[in-house]
Amino acid sequence: MSWQPYLRDLPSQNKAMAYILISIFFFSFMGIFIRKSSENIHIFEVIFFRNLLACIILIPLLYSSGLASFKMRKPGLFVWRAIFVSIGMFAGFSALTLIPLAQATAISFTTPIFVTILALFIFGEVIKLRRIANLQKTKDRKTYYKLADKT
């Protein structure tokens, strides 16, 4: 049974909030499971089984959409994406095994800062006052977690 019928009639903002809450729930458990499983097996094996599980979950989805879902205009970009995602996954999973989960989560809040800087240089995006204000909120949140970690 799917939970999507319950979200179908919601306004798009409420639907987005529901999806974010669902993702927070599952990513939180993923961090816990990574930490616990890495006590017994090597981090490469943890990554392998995470990706194997993702493939098993996605197979019915891909089967229903057919081969059309694999059509891509620039396959080289997908190769680069896979390389960067693999490196990022290894680094992130390794970090979860080396530092406390709360600290790793607090550090992950800096992601919008790095994404904004990279978007400026790679895509030439214009950074407006609204985005700078949001980045300041991110910086304040990071400072809060740093202070909370000291208590």
pTM, two decimals, is 0.70
Residue environment code for 5-24, b if the CB has 16+ CB neighbours within 10 A, otherwise e: eeeeeeeeeeeeeeeeeeee
The one-digit pLDDT tens for each residue of the chain (151 residues) are: 465 677 778 888 888 888 888 988 898 899 899 999 999 999 999 999 999 999 898 888 888 887 777 788 888 999 999 999 999 999 999 998 998 888 888 787 778 788 888 888 988 888 888 877 777 776 665 554 554 455 4
**Which two tokens mark 96?**
């979860």
Please give the pLDDT value at position 151.
43
**Which two tokens mark 106?**
């607090």
**Which two tokens mark 86?**
């693999």
Please give the pLDDT value at position 2.
60
